[in-house]
Structure 1
């Protein structure tokens, strides 16, 4: 009875005090909040003891190494006892070693600036790009281009670079100097063309936009390697080579947002490795610690860093920025252990293998009328659902919610697009932890199939 009472007390306190993320709290008038109590591997339990297979790695694709990795917790604990924190204006051993480790993983990016979240990492990238261009070119190359359907964070500048109208609604006016380019979305080509006869117009349009905006004013382009929250959209093989050439031609810095796709999510250490692209700046978070502690990184080339060294000694000649918790010694210690686990347990390889198996099993029921497209890399898979395959009419959000709920009734938590693109929030998302095995993949696929089979659109 005591446990039941304590459980109800937690529910009551939650309703009274906790402001949930992306949640309309009116739902708690007729249902209780979902409260997670523990996890191990790919499985979690709620406060009632109900077990679920978590196919979304913590809800936002971030617990890459899985739950219950004691060595990560112990590494953070040991460091917190020794030294929890000092300002990032000084170094600490875990931060120094993590910066080295990250630069070994992406050798072209030798300088690492730590902060606390993906949004913050992208804010740093925007500031770096603007200041770098002013130092180098002595002109106002301040504009930052972004791609429709991509998402780069919740802060105002990050939202200014986010191509998801429902996420940005109600928060303007936004930061000036941001301009979008069309999505690289073959299933719903913004140009009405078919690959490969399309001449990869979604990439070549970048040059048109730069010229329209005036190349002397365009300083950077930010892209997700795979559009994540906008529908798990994977660009064609030629896309990034064209993009990179255009950026080099007009001296536009290429920023790759690896907040979601970094640290094995796509079957490689970083998503952009699939296309051989060489970015000027990379941002990452989530999987860097598998979300055991808050941490993010903005990585830059030596060329960019040197511009700040050669700049004037006054306040405009160095990166005048600070992140209070960025580079926290405890978080960096957790990240080092997290990366060690990923490498020793070959989790990037497992992501590639299990991701291929997941796609293979999903493709067995690709012919279901409700399925418009199935796409993914590694353990990052999207299933686009339609009410009519010929017209590609998206199913509505009520149906999407029902599918997610039916999968949960089967003991599997799956994800979906959430109020991002008006009328097109119709992609289910599967992104289990990189420790997932075949039996767990089979359970995920079975739950998805059963949920889709019961839906009438």
Structure 2
């Protein structure tokens, strides 16, 4: 049976991030079932899913509550476009507003994290035109190593050349700054004395471009696919202050970090920072059904209010946005998260795991161990401090899989050198 599935898959399926020419060399697994944190393949072998699929099965596999909610809703109202009201979308929006920080009260539903960020970018640009009519505010600043999605706007904000170069030229108006990657500081500074220079760089870009041309900054509170980069505690508050000083929108991409993964319900709560727009997906339904959301503050939402002849309404249409069945899954998922307070479990188990992984630092192959909650990375290096080559990293991931442990990896690198510190760097 497994061989038949593989033969059919090889003939007809185009998998992401996979070189099909090497299919015989690196055969794909056939997963048939899952429960808790365990995946089961077609041969009945069990694996610990230490990656949580793609950082998104936050409540674990096999939650009957979500299956029951989906079944009940699909019988009652399987679909109607969100041009009208459906009860699950309304209830979920209210529940999200209640658990998000500050006055993030207005929810635009879509299908994925990429679409959520695409939506945030469009809202920011339209907000700029309506709030600053005498200016031309459309530019958005993001960071290298950040990932915001596969749609063209979100990809243009993404700061990973490897993901972008095959599709260039991209959307104009996106600028990139260096990330708060303290282990390999791209500015050559020491975090103990740098005064968060990577945030200052964003302010310099604003000044150089002209504040009247810039409308926002988009950032993951903790960079995910770019290497699990946790910023210094002063970084996000400083970013919030810079946006306030120049009248910019702060867009926080919590597609990965949201819904308990980092030890807080939302990662921005670690630093008591409220964005103007927040983007959500992944843990919103724990992957049981596709659902994304962009949530706006009251001030941003109010900028879209006006008379019918002003054309201020947000005119993006998403066929499946606010899908009643997906939103029913989201309601059940959020109830599990809150009832079981799973962000507290992430904090507790993550701290234990991080302390155990810290013991690997005495290995010459391990350069850094970092993370928050259950979002943790081990950075592999060669003897001279440069990144371990991809082939060797792949072998390590493969060896873990042979031991029935599935982990993720990132090799989208800006530099292959560990910067040494000297006086002229400070």
TM-score bracket for this pair, using the shorter chain length:
over 0.9
Instruction: Say if 2:235 is the partner of 1:239.
Output: yes
In 1, the alpha carbon distance for the partners of 2:278 and 2:415 equals 31
- What secondary structure sits across from 2:362 in the alignment? coil
Q: Aligned to 1:22, which of 13, 17, 37?
A: 17
- What secondary structure sits across from 1:416 in the alignment? coil
Q: CA deviation at 1:363?
A: 1.2
Tell whether the 8 Å contact from 1:396 to 1:425 is kept in structure 2 after alignment: no
Q: CA deviation at 1:425?
A: 12
In 1, the alpha carbon distance for the partners of 2:363 and 2:311 equals 59
In 2, the alpha carbon distance for the partners of 1:93 and 1:247 equals 36
Q: Aligned to 2:291, which of 292, 295, 298?
A: 295
**Unpaired runs of at least 5, structure 2:** 419-426
Distance 1:53 1:41, change over 3 A: same
In 2, the alpha carbon distance for the partners of 1:103 and 1:118 equals 18
Please name the residue that 1:421 is paired with: 413
Instruction: Say if 2:63 is the partner of 1:63.
Output: no
Please name the residue that 2:399 is paired with: 406
Please name the residue that 2:175 is paired with: 179
TM-score for both structures, normalised by structure 1: 0.89
Tell whether the 8 Å contact from 1:356 to 1:378 is kept in structure 2 after alignment: yes
Please name the residue that 1:129 is paired with: 124
Instruction: Say if 2:77 is the partner of 1:102.
Output: no
Q: Aligned to 1:112, which of 101, 107, 111?
A: 107
Tell whether the 8 Å contact from 2:219 to 2:251 is kept in structure 1 after alignment: yes
Instruction: Say if 2:191 is the partner of 1:195.
Output: yes
Q: CA deviation at 1:193?
A: 1.0
Q: Aligned to 2:69, which of 45, 70, 75?
A: 75
- What secondary structure sits across from 2:48 in the alignment? strand
Q: CA deviation at 1:226?
A: 0.3
TM-score for both structures, normalised by structure 2: 0.95
Matches within 5 A, 1:128-277: 128-138=123-133, 139-277=135-273
In 2, the alpha carbon distance for the partners of 1:383 and 1:424 equals 16
Q: CA deviation at 1:317?
A: 1.2
Please name the residue that 1:452 is paired with: none
Deviations 1:308-363, CA, capped at 9 Å, x for gaps: 113x4237311001111111000001011001111111211100000000001111
Please name the residue that 1:9 is paired with: 4
Q: CA deviation at 1:392?
A: 2.1
In 1, the alpha carbon distance for the partners of 2:243 and 2:414 equals 30
Tell whether the 8 Å contact from 1:417 to 1:425 is kept in structure 2 after alignment: no
In 1, the alpha carbon distance for the partners of 2:370 and 2:416 equals 16
In 1, the alpha carbon distance for the partners of 2:415 and 2:408 equals 17
Q: CA deviation at 1:424?
A: 5.3
Q: CA deviation at 1:29?
A: 3.3
Q: Aligned to 2:83, which of 89, 94, 100?
A: 89
Tell whether the 8 Å contact from 1:43 to 1:53 is kept in structure 2 after alignment: yes
Distance 1:359 1:30, change over 3 A: closer
In 2, the alpha carbon distance for the partners of 1:256 and 1:102 equals 15
**Unpaired runs of at least 5, structure 1:** 1-5, 427-457
Q: CA deviation at 1:423?
A: 6.0
Please name the residue that 1:328 is paired with: 323
Distance 1:31 1:304, change over 3 A: closer
In 2, the alpha carbon distance for the partners of 1:94 and 1:333 equals 5
Instruction: Say if 2:393 is the partner of 1:397.
Output: no
Deviations 1:236-268, CA, capped at 9 Å, x for gaps: 011111111110011110000000000011011
Please name the residue that 2:350 is paired with: 355
Q: Aligned to 2:44, which of 39, 45, 49?
A: 49
- What secondary structure sits across from 2:275 in the alignment? coil
In 1, the alpha carbon distance for the partners of 2:194 and 2:177 equals 17
In 2, the alpha carbon distance for the partners of 1:417 and 1:28 equals 21
Q: CA deviation at 1:8?
A: 1.8
Tell whether the 8 Å contact from 1:141 to 1:218 is kept in structure 2 after alignment: yes
Q: CA deviation at 1:83?
A: 0.3
In 2, the alpha carbon distance for the partners of 1:425 and 1:21 equals 29
In 1, the alpha carbon distance for the partners of 2:95 and 2:10 equals 42
